[in-house]
Structure 1
Amino acid sequence: MALGRMGLLVILASLTIATPALAHDGTGLAGGFISGILHPLTGWDHLLAMVAVGLWGAILGRPLIIALPVIFPVMMVAGAFLAMVNIPLPPVEIGIALSVVILGAVIAFRYAAPVWLACTIVAIFAVFHGYAHGMELPSAADPAGYSTGFVLSTGLLHVVGIGIGLIDRHETGRKAVRALGALISIAGCVFLWRAIA
């Protein structure tokens, strides 16, 4: 039990020192398939949101265990398109931070959203994530390869979340999932504070 608490403290400490928008800092991309695969793993905000989408879908069950991980990358592509054609959105970093706060909270509180609402929440947040990366995409050396790798990596993070969600079927696992949701939401609050500051 002490080891579990120590692990949680380590995770919380690492989240407080991580940069909130490392995955989309606006500095341009090396490009290529491998770069696209690795990029979602370089920012805690994107990584936690992707895992949370899969985890929430697993908790909600069918049809959302499939629908949410499909909706997110599709709407992320739409968000990237909006960025590339210069259609403005509200502050993107705040939208991304809120995605982590809210997705963590719905997991922590086991919010059983109706299908339409869960899909809408995920779709809106996906647009913000896609927009942030779409602003960088034109600077990539190989935009098509990068995009393919990025979407694949995002999908794999959803699968990780679904895998974690499998432990939700047992009482002990359910408590662990709720605690993980709370940690994700707390991390989102840190990202939100940094985005506003």
Structure 2
Amino acid sequence: MSTNNSPILIRVDHRELASEVPQYLRELDSVRIEIEQLEAADYILGPQTAVERKSVGDFLVSILDKRLFSQIEALTVTFDQVIYLIEGESLYSAGNLHPNAVRGALSYLVILNGVTLLRSEGPEDSALLLATMARHAQHGLGYEISTHHKRRTISPQLQMRYLVEDLPDIGAKTAQALLERFGTLRALFSASEAELRQVPGIGEKRASEIHELANRSYGK
């Protein structure tokens, strides 16, 4: 099991030096970056995990000049896990693109190419997000998450009603009527078909099904 102090290596395309993200990465404990001329991607976080980072402005321009589509093709051919990180303000208030064109590009990335789409507030946020993803890609989560959820407390009466509702064709109203008539689950499941038919909503078919189920052997 790893800890947050496990060393992390992030490979960075040299063109990203024009942004502030690499500098923020250098300031993070346990993060080491290597500046390279990457053929595809701005950041490589693991053997098959790549990130393309774009400011909102760059993203909108890449839609207009169609560069987005060729970049994504190169990334998805090279890497199994491709993440598109869009950094900055609202996509719809910047630039002159119609919002539907932006939505179409986002859908193209996610639905048609299986790309993971993430947003960040700025360079520092991008660096922190990249470091977190790199840690997970290289070392796993680092701790266990409990999947046992504490059930909310419900009254015994409600538990009894829920149990009766699981009987064939029994709804909440009929379950309530059965419990009011017999008082206990033991009495209900010990009742004869004739006694069951005395309850409103319980006809011959339902009475037969309940009686048969209550008296059936588990192995049969």
TM-score by length of 1: 0.23
**Which protein is richer in strand relative to its size?**
2
More helix by share: 1
Higher RCO (CA-CA < 8 Å; seq separation 6+): 1
Please identify the structure whose Cα radius of gyration is greater: 2
Q: TM-score, normalised by structure 2?
A: 0.22
